[in-house]
């Protein structure tokens, strides 16, 4: 079959955009390039894989799981049903951490990524700060397998710990502690494709969405250097309540809530108050 025939076939199963995206990934070209190779004959094995992937998409499986990887901050990460699909908002979180470390001129930071999932946060920071000491933590052994695979593929040397937040993390002091924990409220309405495919353990954070933050904050003071950054991804309704919790736990701190590109509260940063 030709590229054009496969695109026409794909539109019977999914949107034109997803059909082209999927085919472009399988052919290892940019989606725009497809228009220049419409007459190209596609190998039978790739045709069969394309058909199989289209069927999965038609069954409302996320395209990222169907493809098996995502692009995050310019790096290719493996993903499957054991980990969350990284969102663009998390790239913004990483961007802010990167800017903080560069501004502070910390070239060999110690970084702790709690609830690492596929490892996109900690591994991306390790990529940009090769001399950093990065530790990735998750309670799920299956998630850690994905993160370990990504570290190996990217050639990044980091530490892994299976732990329920700090429970198995040896006492040490960190420049940066970052987490994108489960923060969806128990009764919060979310997209069916997310609810039915992504791991619930990585989605739900209790009745108010703050249970995981409470668990982290309970012990976090012991793991912070004198000068530190705590970086959280948050639910868009949770910023002010979480800010209150942090002020109770870390009184001498400066808390900043930042919005994502959709103008929703999405990131919260905690630094030592130097005023």
Domain locations in the chain?
3-59, 81-272
Average pLDDT value for the chain: 92
H or E stretch covering 217: helix 211-219
Top-confidence residue, 65 or 154: 154
CA dist 35 and 25 (Å) reads 14
Residue 194 has pLDDT above 90, yes or no: no
> pLDDT tens across 157-177, in order?
999 999 999 999 999 999 999
Burial class (CB in 10 A: 0-12, 13-18, 19+), 126: buried
Residue 136 has pLDDT above 90, yes or no: yes
pLDDT, position 273: 79
Cβ-proximal residues to 152 (8 Å cutoff; 6+ apart), any chain: none
Residue 195 has pLDDT above 80, yes or no: no
pLDDT, position 198: 74
Measured between its terminal Cα atoms, the distance across the chain in Å is 67
> pLDDT tens across 13-70, in order?
888 888 888 898 888 888 888 989 999 999 999 999 899 889 888 888 888 888 888 8
Q: Contact at 8 Å (CB) between 151 and 123?
A: yes
Average pLDDT of the residues in 256-274: 91
Q: Contact at 8 Å (CB) between 76 and 86?
A: no
pLDDT band for position 185 (50/70/90)? confident
> pLDDT tens across 55-113, in order?
888 888 888 888 888 889 989 999 999 999 898 889 999 999 999 999 999 989 999 99
CATH of the domain spanning 81-272, picked from 3.30.413.10, 3.40.50.170, 3.40.50.150, 3.20.20.70: 3.40.50.150
Q: Which pair of tokens denotes residue 194?
A: 């997310």
Q: Which pair of tokens denotes residue 33?
A: 């390039």
Residue 191 has pLDDT above 80, yes or no: no
Cβ-proximal residues to 46 (8 Å cutoff; 6+ apart), any chain: 26, 27
Q: Contact at 8 Å (CB) between 69 and 78?
A: yes
Candidates 89, 84, 109; CA nearest to 98 is 109
DSSP string, 137-171: EES-HHHHHHHHHHHHHHT---EEEE-STTTTPPP
Top-confidence residue, 227 or 63: 227
Average pLDDT of the residues in 172-193: 87
pLDDT band for position 197 (50/70/90)? confident
> pLDDT tens across 211-222, in order?
999 999 999 999
Q: Contact at 8 Å (CB) between 7 and 29?
A: no
pLDDT, position 275: 64
Q: Contact at 8 Å (CB) between 61 and 236?
A: no
CA dist 99 and 198 (Å) reads 30
């Amino acid at each position: 079959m030709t590229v054009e025939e496969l695109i026409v076939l794909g539109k019977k199963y999914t949107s034109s955009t997803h059909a082209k995206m999927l085919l472009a990934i399988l052919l290892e070209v940019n989606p725009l390039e497809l228009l220049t190779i419409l007459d190209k004959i596609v190998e039978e094995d790739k045709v069969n894989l394309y058909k199989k992937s289209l069927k999965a998409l038609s069954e409302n499986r996320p395209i990222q799981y169907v493809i098996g990887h995502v692009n995050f901050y310019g790096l290719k990460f493996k993903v499957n049903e054991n980990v969350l699909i990284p969102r663009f908002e998390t790239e913004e979180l990483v961007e802010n951490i990167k800017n903080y470390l560069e501004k502070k001129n910390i070239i060999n930071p110690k970084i702790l990524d709690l609830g690492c999932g596929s490892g996109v946060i900690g591994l991306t920071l390790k990529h940009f700060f090769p001399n950093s000491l990065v530790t990735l933590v998750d309670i799920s052994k299956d998630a850690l397998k994905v993160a370990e695979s990504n570290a190996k593929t990217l050639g990044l040397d980091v530490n892994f710990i299976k732990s329920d937040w700090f429970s198995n993390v040896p006492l040490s002091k960190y420049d940066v502690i970052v987490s994108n924990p489960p923060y969806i409220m128990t009764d919060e309405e979310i997209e069916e494709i997310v609810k039915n495919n992504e791991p619930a353990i990585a989605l739900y954070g209790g009745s108010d969405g703050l249970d995981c933050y409470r668990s982290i904050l309970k012990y976090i003071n012991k793991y912070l250097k004198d000068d530190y950054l705590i970086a959280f991804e948050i639910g868009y309704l949770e910023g002010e309540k979480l800010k209150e919790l942090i002020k109770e736990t870390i009184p001498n701190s400066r808390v900043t809530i930042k919005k994502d590109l959709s103008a929703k509260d999405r990131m919260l940063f905690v630094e030592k108050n130097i005023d």
